[in-house]
Amino acid sequence: MTNQPKWQHPGGKFREVGPEALSDAELLAILISTGTQNKPAEQIAEEIIQRFGSFKGMANQPLSKFLEMKGLGDVKAIRIAAAFEIARRIVNEVLKDHEET
């Protein structure tokens, strides 16, 4: 029997062992926060990644595509879209910095 902790949500794993230890689905589940009565956030996250293939596949999807997913309402879908917008802005800043050098 190992002493490995059992986290109730990926946020605990993130805090304890760091973001690098989480799968894409676990990171996405943190944004989703809570699941539904029949599906935990991690399962919803896995279904989203399966549908779009990867974060890159998710990045340019319109909000309406996320709203089609069972388990995602407006707040969760907007939270995911906002995270991708933040990432897009970071990339644009980095690219701009590289063009200036």
- The residue extents of the domains of the chain are 10-100
Confidence of residue 7 (pLDDT cuts 50, 70, 90): confident
Q: At what angle do helices 10-17 and 24-32 cross, to 10 degrees?
A: 120
Pick the range with the lowest mean pLDDT from 7-16, 30-39, 46-55, 76-85. Answer: 7-16
Q: What is the pTM of this model?
A: 0.85
Taking the C-alpha atoms of residue 26 and residue 94, their distance in angstroms, rounded to an integer, is 26
How much is the pLDDT for 3? 55
Contacts by residues 90-99 (CB-CB < 8 Å, ≥ 24 positions apart): none
How much is the pLDDT for 100? 82
Quick one: average pLDDT of 24-41? 94
Would you say domain 10-100 falls under CATH 1.10.150?
A: yes
